[in-house]
Chains A and B, each alone.
Chain A
Amino acid sequence: DVKVTQSSRYLVKRTGEKVFLECVQDMDHENMFWYRQDPGLGLRLIYFSYDVKMKEKGDIPEGYSVSREKKERFSLILESASTNQTSMYLCASSSYIPLGARDEQYFGPGTRLTVT
């Protein structure tokens, strides 16, 4: 059974703290994604990685960075957490298909981050 795991289900951090969110997949997928989901705004892509050490910005990369040192692990970093980064963070992975459209994404359970 396919599995995407995230390091925490709930996290509370203070403004200005550096925050690490970890995601691990066991499907040997090339692609990994970080999204955030907010009421009224839906799901938005933060960053995407298509290979180890490779990354691309999504729609809302400001205030975030990512790291992918190993194929199975993709980290999202909030360099200096702010209250507007309070959100549900979702990690996903998918296999590589050249035309891009036919690979479903498998999601982790999400991390609900609160920044106070």
Chain B
Amino acid sequence: DAKTTQPTSMDCAEGRAANLPCNHSTISGNEYVYWYRQIHSQGPQYIIHGLKNNETNEMASLIITEDRKSSTLILPHATLRDTAVYYCIVIMGYKLSFGAGTTVTVRA
């Protein structure tokens, strides 16, 4: 599975959009981009995934560049409950492997 690079941490104001970048320059054609998050002391939670096209669900939007070498997770209206570690994963198959992720802190 391709390696991903994310910023270590970022702050966001409550009510504003949070844009979380992820680089995956070695992604191969059949690998998907997945995003999970983990709130302190809880199990990871699936957010969204995509292959080529941009995706949106009730939680977030995923923007994947045309060359697929990077992507951005957008939380449209961040709330205090969105404070968590966010993991970007590139995967083909079932084996999840989280790195350090991005620690997102939403401030009132």
- Among the listed B31, B32, B43, B100, which residue makes an inter-chain contact with A42, where contact means beta carbons less than 8 Å apart? B100
Which residue of chain A is the closest to B32 with respect to CB atoms? A101
In the complex the two chains form, is B43's CB within 8 Å of A100's CB?
no
Q: A101-B31, A104-B49 are in contact. List 11 more A-B contacts (CB 8 A).
A: A31-B94, A42-B97, A48-B95, A59-B95, A59-B97, A100-B92, A102-B49, A107-B44, A107-B45, A108-B43, A110-B42
Residues of A within 8 A of B92 (CB): 100-101
Residues of B within 8 A of A92 (CB): 43-44, 96
Kindly supply a per-residue 1/0 record for chain B positions 89-108, scoring 1 wherever the CB is within 8 Å of any chain A CB and 0 otherwise: 00111111111100000000
Query: How many positions in chain B have a CB within 8 Å of any CB in the partner chain?
Result: 21
Which residue of chain A is the closest to B92 with respect to CB atoms? A101
- Tell me the bound Cα distance from A106 to B44 in angstroms: 8
Residue A61 CB within 8 A of the other chain: no
In the complex the two chains form, is A35's CB within 8 Å of B91's CB?
no
In the complex the two chains form, is A90's CB within 8 Å of B44's CB?
yes
> Range of interface residues on chain A?
20 to 34
Please report A residues at the B interface, Cβ cutoff 8 Å: 4, 31, 33, 35, 37, 42-45, 48, 58-59, 90, 92, 94, 100-110
Please report B residues at the A interface, Cβ cutoff 8 Å: 30-32, 34, 41-46, 49, 91-100
Residues of B within 8 A of A94 (CB): 94
Chain B proximity of A100: nearest CB distance (Å)? 5
